[in-house]
Amino acid sequence: VLNINLADEDATLTLARDLARITGVGDILALRGELGTGKTAFARAFITARRGEATEVPSPTFTLVQTYDDGQAAIYHFDLFRLTKPDEALELGIEDAFADGITLIEWPERLESLLPDRRLEIDFFYGETPEARIAWINGGADWTARLAEAGLG
């Protein structure tokens, strides 16, 4: 588990861009954390970095999912806060996302057992100042090597 201090929002955006560079088709990023800890801020920077151009990234609070194309892969950005049961995510096409997209999921715990084990888990916490956050990053062996490559190990 990596424990990263994010002193301000820029640090969160930089982390998102760093991870965007080592991510590819089939990857799943589970973005966990209380309301306002920066999951959507992270997703915005990640998607913009993947696309390489300014991109409007609305929070999928009500649509539950927004999709993007970065020229190499489809990016699926889920916010499952309002999911009432895990099966509802199947109707949103979450299995297609897992199979051949890059998937970012806010409130991944709503999926319960449908959340794949092969995910990179990023847990956001509030820090000691209003602008500070802490991220815990945890993935399998494959992720550990890739994180080291990105200078995050």
Residues that bind Mg ion (CB under 5 A): 39-40, 59, 106
- Out of Mg ion, ligand ATP, none, which partner does residue 41 contact, by CB within 5 to 8 A per kind? ligand ATP
DSSP 120-145: EEEEEEE-SSTT-EEEEEE--HHHHH
Number of residues this chain uses to bind ligand ATP (CB under 6 A): 19
| Smallest gap from residue 108 Cβ to ligand ATP (A) | 12
| Smallest gap from residue 79 Cβ to Mg ion (A) | 6
Tell whether residue 106 is a contact of ligand ATP (CB under 6 A).
Answer: yes
What tokens does 120 get?
């990179």
Rounded to 5 degrees, what angle do the CA atoms 143, 148, 149 make? Answer: 95
In this complex, which beta carbon is closest to ligand ATP, that of residue 41 or of residue 73?
41
At 118, is the secondary structure helix, strand, or coil? coil
In this complex, which beta carbon is closest to ligand ATP, that of residue 21 or of residue 82?
82
What tokens does 139 get?
């993935």
On the CB side of 29, CA atoms within 13 Å amount to: 29
Residue pair 66/80 in contact by the 8 Å Cβ criterion: no
| Smallest gap from residue 145 Cβ to Mg ion (A) | 29
| Smallest gap from residue 47 Cβ to ligand ATP (A) | 13
**Nearest Cα residue to 44 out of 31, 34, 35:** 31
Q: Which residues bind ligand ATP (CB under 6 A)?
A: 6, 8-9, 11-12, 33, 35-41, 59, 79, 106, 131-133
